[in-house]
Amino acid sequence: MSAKRSRRKGSALVGVLAWAAALVFFFPVLWMFVSGFKQEAQASTDPPTFLFAPTMDQFEAILGRDFTPYLLNSLMASIGSTLLVLALATPAAYALSLRPVPGWRDSLFFFISTRMMPPAAIILPLYIIASNAGVLDNVTMLALVYTAMNLPIAVWMIRSFLLELPTAVLEAAKIDGAGFLTEVRRIILPMIAPGLAATALICFIFAWNEFFFAVSLTSTRAATVPVFLTGFITSEGLFLARLSAAATMAALPVILAGWIAQKWLVRGLTMGAVK
Amino acid sequence: MQPSVRTRYAVAAGLATVLAASACSGAGGGGDDAKTITIATVANPQMQDIEQLSSVFEEETGIDVQFVILPENELRDKVTQDIATESGQYDIVTIGTYETPIWAENGWLAPLDEYASDPEYDVDDLLAPIREAVTYEDGLYAVPFYGESSFLMYRKDLFEAAGLTMPANPTWTEVAGLAAQLDDPENDVAGICLRGLAGWGENLAPLNTIIHTFGGRWYDEDWNAQLTSPETAAAVQFYVDLVRDYGEDGAANAGFSECLTATSQGNAAMWFDATVGASVLEDPESSDAAGLMGYAPAPVMETEHSGWLWAWNLALPETSQHKDAAWDFMSWATSKEYISLVGEELGWTRVPPGSRASTYEIPEYQEAAAAYAQPTLDQIANVNVTKPGLYEQNWAGVQYITIPEFQDLGTRVGQEISAAIAGNQTVEEALEKAQQYAEETAQTGGYQGG
């Protein structure tokens, strides 16, 4: 009886702590969301303004600035690169885990080592190549850059999911006479689907939020949402409310994607090597 | 469980659509059409107005205008990158008075004299000091969109309540005395707001005008750094003491925007900054200080006048493929006609200031900007860009030095000053490092002995 009560007390405490932690992490996002409904002067007061009459002025101003092309460009670059990453990373991860190719350790290290070079170091050659090839300000080019950017992390993640697969299941399938394709399609892919969903979401978020390549390689046709966002930052005048409103709109697709992927995500993030 | 056939078709169709969509070059407008021009610009309020009004130009001329809007530093990087690699993505670029002579020297900008000589454009109407700042070796390389100097903004009501008066031509010593009397930490009112945020376009802008008027300078005529000279050291010590004793809270991180917020919310009795700050302070919608402000000339010490000079300008990159169409837009955006258009469509307080003398003769503007129009004009007219202090300079610029290395040098020196304002080091320590940076820059840049 008393043991039961103290357990209940304990779990209530954990619940309160979890909520408190969640609120602390969520507060900046909430503040951004709230600030988007303020007037500029209210958004930059010290101490901060908590009570105010909400206005849609900032959102209207943003929509008046032709947000749609930026949104479409971001969607194309992010979704396109994520699909390409999954298509390339899954076979690569397979060849580095379940049926390791010779030298798989070196390959694996090579993949991750490409992330060790800071983007600033490769932007100039990349820019010159793009310029000479005539693909500056081109969404396809941006999608390819994001594919290259996300590929290493996707290979590593998917590999860790593949290693988790119980070998007994794979062996059983083989004994039952399953060929390679059947094994991949009916056993492996369904089993790592949560992992693939988690990988896809992470790649999508990285591509969606990427700013440096986007600002360097695009101008009018292929500019993405993060580039659009910075267009509200000015050295002369107040801009916090409008920037918050724009950032809220920019975050919506990611929140939506996260919400859709949620039920796979928890499993995907807790399986594999990162536990 | 296997996905149904229908799901699989839906997924395949979705994939195909996305891949097909990303095979095109992008959703944004713009093209290689001769009738489309691309302008790269900063996001300042005046530029947002021009974006809004550009449809008038598009209807008149049939030329399509695309805007790339970025923060100042990203824009500078991006445009430099584009021009240096001759990518030719931009037909018009927005640049400051600092970049104009440097880029003109590099051969990146098309000369505009021939275009601007059109009598209808009335190039002689441009304010002389601003025009001089965008001129390189007698050639005009940019046209000013709006310009500014700096002056002292103060709260008339607080002065009255304290029984103080602002002298007609204040000295910095007088201003420091006033700041001491007006500083009221209990009521959250700083005596004076001054920029402490590190950056050549932030804390160095007001500081350098003070260095000039104290009789100091960055370099002598042979490019020997002068940052530890007694005059320069006295000016920097004065600035740091003033902002530490009677300045705003968190001064080391306060720039133009922070001081603007503080002053407009009644948390500063004085503010020495850009003349364009006045138009925001006088807007009742965003400022509690509207109607309460007075404006005095930039305070002085050894010189007759002080105050910086800056303008945002439109320039034509040599790499542009549509130079004539680009000039059509540039001349429209810097014309008298455009200034009237802003006044009529958006309100007279939003008119781009400090570019044309004729702006200050428009009765509606005189009325709307009564409090600060004349002080702004006088302040700009009194700037001497080649001799802002006691000495003739090798360059034309008040708060900056027109060498490419200054961006980096200015940022580093600005950081040392900011650290002194934060109290992390003394002014002597800051200036010793600054002097060393400046000396190294002059040597490696090949300016000394040249």
B320, B110 contact by CB (below 8 A):
yes
Same domain as B191, residue B298: yes
Same domain as B204, residue B286: yes
Q: Which domain range does residue B234 map to?
A: 150-308+390-444
Same domain as B98, residue B139: yes
Q: What's the pLDDT score for residue B9?
A: 55
Residue A213 has pLDDT above 90, yes or no: yes
pLDDT in tens, A96-110: 998 888 999 999 999
Best mutation site among A220, A239, A242 for testing chain B: the one with the most B CBs within 10 Å?
A: A220
Distance (Å) from the C-alpha of residue A186 to the closest C-alpha of chain B? Answer: 8
Q: What's the pLDDT score for residue A21?
A: 95
Nearest residue of chain A to residue B267 (CA atoms): A46
Distance (Å) from the C-alpha of residue B161 to the closest C-alpha of chain A? Answer: 24
Q: Is residue A83 part of a domain?
A: yes
Question: Is some CB atom of chain A closer than 8 A to the CB atom of B45?
Answer: yes
Which residue in A41, A79, A236 is closest to B44 by CB distance? A236
CB–CB of A80 and B18 under 8 A? Answer: yes
Nearest residue of chain B to residue A130 (CA atoms): B87
Rounded CA-CA distance A249/A160 in Å is: 34
Q: B339: domain CATH number? A: 3.40.190.10
Show the 3-state SS of chain A.
CHHHHHHHHHHHHHHHHHHHHHHHHHHHHHHHHHHCCCCHHHHCCCCCCCCCCCCCHHHHHHHCCCCHHHHHHHHHHHHHHHHHHHHHHHHHHHHCCCCCCCCHHHHHHHHHHCCCCCHHHHHHHHHHHHHHHCCCCCHHHHHHHHHHHHHHHHHHHHHHHHHHCCHHHHHHHHHCCCCHHHHHHHHHHHHHHHHHHHHHHHHHHHHHHCCHHHHHHCCCCCCCHHHHHHCCCCCCCCCHHHHHHHHHHHHHHHHHHHHHHHHHHHHHHHCCCCC
Same domain as B338, residue B228: no
Q: Is residue B348 part of a domain?
A: yes
Q: Is residue B27 part of a domain?
A: no
Same domain as B184, residue B161: yes
Q: Is residue A36 part of a domain?
A: no
Q: How many domains does chain B have?
A: 2
Rounded CA-CA distance A171/A99 in Å is: 13
Same domain as B330, residue B304: no
* pLDDT tens sequence for chain B (450 residues): 444 555 555 555 554 555 444 456 777 765 555 689 999 998 888 888 898 899 999 999 999 999 998 888 888 888 888 888 888 889 999 999 999 999 999 999 999 999 999 999 999 999 999 999 999 998 999 999 999 999 999 999 999 999 999 999 999 999 999 999 999 999 999 999 999 999 998 999 999 999 999 999 999 999 999 999 999 999 999 999 999 999 999 999 999 988 998 999 999 999 999 999 998 899 888 889 999 999 999 999 999 999 999 999 999 999 999 999 999 999 999 999 999 999 999 999 889 999 999 999 999 999 999 999 999 999 999 999 999 999 999 998 999 999 999 989 999 999 999 999 999 999 999 999 999 999 999 999 999 875
- B7 secondary structure, DSSP code: H
Question: Is some CB atom of chain A closer than 8 A to the CB atom of B33?
Answer: no
**pLDDT, average across residues A156-172:** 89
Q: Is residue A25 part of a domain?
A: no
Distance (Å) from the C-alpha of residue A107 to the closest C-alpha of chain B? Answer: 28
Q: Is residue B25 part of a domain?
A: no
The radius of gyration of chain A's CA atoms, rounded to the nearest angstrom, is 23
Same domain as B428, residue B345: no
Question: Is some CB atom of chain B closer than 8 A to the CB atom of A146?
Answer: no
Residue A25 has pLDDT above 90, yes or no: yes
**Count of Cβ atoms closer than 10 Å to residue A231 Cβ:** 27
Same domain as B232, residue B166: yes
B240, B432 contact by CB (below 8 A):
no
Alpha helices in B171-289 (DSSP H): 172-182, 204-213, 230-246, 256-264, 277-281
CA B22-A154-A216 angle, 5° bins: 50
**pLDDT, average across residues A43-71:** 85
Pairing of strands B310-315, B143-148: antiparallel
CB–CB of B70 and A231 under 8 A? Answer: yes
Rounded CA-CA distance B272/B307 in Å is: 10
Q: What's the pLDDT score for residue B2?
A: 46
Question: Which chain B residues touch A131 with a CB distance below 8 Å?
Answer: 85, 87
Rounded CA-CA distance B64/B54 in Å is: 9
Nearest residue of chain B to residue A213 (CA atoms): B78
- The pTM (predicted TM-score) of the whole model is 0.82
Give the strand order in the sheet containing B92-96: B64-70, B36-42, B92-96, B310-315, B143-148
CB–CB of B23 and A136 under 8 A? Answer: no
Q: What's the pLDDT score for residue A194?
A: 86
Among A30-44, A111-125, A253-267, B184-198, the minimum mean pLDDT is found in A253-267
A216, B80 contact by CB (below 8 A):
no
Q: Which two tokens stand for residue A17?
A: 């702590």
Q: Is residue A86 part of a domain?
A: yes
Question: Is some CB atom of chain A closer than 8 A to the CB atom of B84?
Answer: no
CB–CB of B21 and A80 under 8 A? Answer: yes
Question: Is some CB atom of chain A closer than 8 A to the CB atom of B51?
Answer: yes
Window 85-124 of A, Cβ < 8 Å to B: none
Which residue in A70, A72, A237 is closest to B45 by CB distance? A237
Same domain as B211, residue B354: no
Q: How many domains does chain A have?
A: 1
Q: Is residue B380 part of a domain?
A: no
pLDDT in tens, B179-222: 999 999 999 999 999 999 999 989 999 999 999 999 999 999 99
**Count of Cβ atoms closer than 10 Å to residue B275 Cβ:** 26
Q: Which residues contact A58 (CB under 8 A, 6 or more apart)?
A: A36, A37, A38, A241, A242, A244, A245, A246
Q: Which two tokens stand for residue B193?
A: 């707001």
Nearest residue of chain A to residue B265 (CA atoms): A45
Same domain as B288, residue B320: no
Nearest residue of chain A to residue B21 (CA atoms): A76
B181, B162 contact by CB (below 8 A):
yes
CA B211 to chain centre: 19
Question: Which chain A residues touch B72 with a CB distance below 8 Å?
Answer: 235
Distance (Å) from the C-alpha of residue B411 to the closest C-alpha of chain A? Answer: 16
Q: Which two tokens stand for residue A13?
A: 């405490």
Say which residue, A47 or B444, is predicted with more confidence.
B444
Q: Which domain range does residue A67 map to?
A: 56-270
CA dist B394 → B4, B219, B285, B308 (Å): 77, 9, 44, 17
Q: Which two tokens stand for residue A262?
A: 């949620």
Work out the percent of chain A whose per-residue pLDDT is above 90: 47
Q: Which two tokens stand for residue A42?
A: 């209210």
Distance (Å) from the C-alpha of residue A72 to the closest C-alpha of chain B? Answer: 6
Q: Is residue B110 part of a domain?
A: yes
Kindly provide the b/e burial profile for residues A40-50, where b requires at least 16 CB atoms within 10 angstroms of the residue's own CB.
bbbbbeeeeee
- B225 secondary structure, DSSP code: B
Window 314-353 of B, Cβ < 8 Å to A: none
Same domain as B398, residue B250: yes
CB–CB of B89 and A219 under 8 A? Answer: yes
Window 56-75 of A, Cβ < 8 Å to B: 65, 68-73
Nearest residue of chain B to residue A214 (CA atoms): B78
Rounded CA-CA distance A23/B265 in Å is: 30
A168 — pLDDT class (breaks 50, 70, 90): confident
CB–CB of B256 and A235 under 8 A? Answer: yes
Which residue in A45, A137, A190 is closest to B26 by CB distance? A137
Q: Is residue A10 part of a domain?
A: no
Q: Omega before B375 cis (within 30°)?
A: no
B103, B315 contact by CB (below 8 A):
yes
Rounded CA-CA distance B321/B88 in Å is: 7
CB–CB of B18 and A223 under 8 A? Answer: no
Distance (Å) from the C-alpha of residue B450 to the closest C-alpha of chain A? Answer: 32
Q: Is residue A275 part of a domain?
A: no
Q: Which two tokens stand for residue B103?
A: 């880029």
CB–CB of A223 and B26 under 8 A? Answer: yes
CA B155 to chain centre: 24
B288, B266 contact by CB (below 8 A):
yes
Q: Is residue B29 part of a domain?
A: no
Same domain as B129, residue B211: no
B298, B380 contact by CB (below 8 A):
no
Residue A263 has pLDDT above 80, yes or no: no
Residue A268 has pLDDT above 60, yes or no: yes
Rounded CA-CA distance A50/A35 in Å is: 9
Question: Is some CB atom of chain B closer than 8 A to the CB atom of A6?
Answer: no
Q: A229: domain CATH number? A: 1.10.3720.10
B434, B227 contact by CB (below 8 A):
yes
> Could you report the predicted ipTM of this complex, rounded to two decimals?
0.74
Question: Is some CB atom of chain A closer than 8 A to the CB atom of B24?
Answer: yes
CB–CB of B68 and A131 under 8 A? Answer: no
Q: Is residue A81 part of a domain?
A: yes
Rounded CA-CA distance A32/B77 in Å is: 28
